[in-house]
Amino acid sequence: QVHLQESGPGLVKPSETLSLTCAVSGYSISSGHYWGWIRQPPGQGLEWIGGIYQSGSTSYNPSLKSRVTISVDTSKNQFSLHLSSVTATDAAVYYCARTVGTGHPVDYWGPGTLVTVSS
Amino acid sequence: SYELTQPPSVSVSPGQTASISCSGDKLGDEYASWYQQKPGQSPVVVIYQHTKRPSGIPERFSGSNSGNTATLTISGTQSMDEADYYCQAWDSSTVIFGGGTKLTVL
């Protein structure tokens, strides 16, 4: 069974960089699939942030592209999100997730981690 | 940018059929998936590739597609089905979510 777990600070100051890591167990990232980050502001809908293939190829939501970097560490079987210059509008539950890729659903989700933006 | 449009809310009586629509220009060419999200929980896929149901998802959940509109249907709706539902499709390598529909079982 594939298991994903997000970790990182729950509080980030405005203008700083939000950094989260997703540890994957039960499946080797090196084996394939597309690994992504999705966020959900309190009381709002889901927003795709971006994703990365095991090869390191990335794709980002155009609305966030200038501030987002997603990377993968196959040796630790984890991938990471960095979102720079955060503001209050970046406060959300952040989920890491897995999908086969285009045309396929997001089949595994982490439990999510709440990130608050405040000084 | 590509958008998926869902009704904000749908109400249904227990035992009746609930239908949630999702419209988008590319749904005629791209598969839709549907997710159920209950409060405080991560989303769970209930339908993928328009009509397929993952193992463990009750048979009362079904999906269809006609032109640019995908539809999630819940037959014999139960109180446990009260949740937010999101449709999802792909735009190249980007995942697109609909705005979500709150299903209320009255």
Q: What is the pLDDT of residue B1?
A: 72
Chain A residues within 8 Å of chain B (Cβ atoms): 34, 36, 38, 45-48, 51, 59-63, 95, 99, 101-107, 109-112
Q: What is the pLDDT of residue A54?
A: 83
Instruction: Closest CB to A109: pick one of B42, B96, B99.
Output: B42
Q: What is the pLDDT of residue A101?
A: 87
The interface residues of chain B toward chain A in range 26-45, judged by CB-CB distance below 8 A, are 30-31, 33, 35, 42-45
Top-confidence residue, A30 or A109:
A109
pLDDT, averaged across chain A? 96
Q: What is the pLDDT of residue B62?
A: 98
Query: If you average pLDDT over residues B81-90, what whole number do you get?
Result: 97
Model confidence over A21-38: pLDDT tens digits?
Answer: 999 999 999 998 999 999
Distance from the A85 Cα atom to the nearest Cα atom in chain B, whole angstroms: 22
Distance from the B18 Cα atom to the nearest Cα atom in chain A, whole angstroms: 20
Distance from the B48 Cα atom to the nearest Cα atom in chain A, whole angstroms: 6
Cβ of A61 within 8 Å of Cβ of B94? The answer is yes
Q: Which residues of B touch A99 (CB under 8 A)?
A: 95
| CA distances (Å), origin A27, targets A34, A101, B31 | 12, 16, 25
Decide if B86 contacts B37 (C-beta within 8 A).
yes
CA distance B44 to A65: 26
Q: Which residues of A touch B98 (CB under 8 A)?
A: 45
Q: What is the pLDDT of residue B38?
A: 98
Q: What is the pLDDT of residue B39?
A: 96
Q: Dihedral of the CA atoms A112, A114, B80, A44 (nearest 10)?
A: -110
CA distance B75 to A29: 38
CA nearest A92: which of A4, A23, A20, A36? A20
Distance from the B25 Cα atom to the nearest Cα atom in chain A, whole angstroms: 15
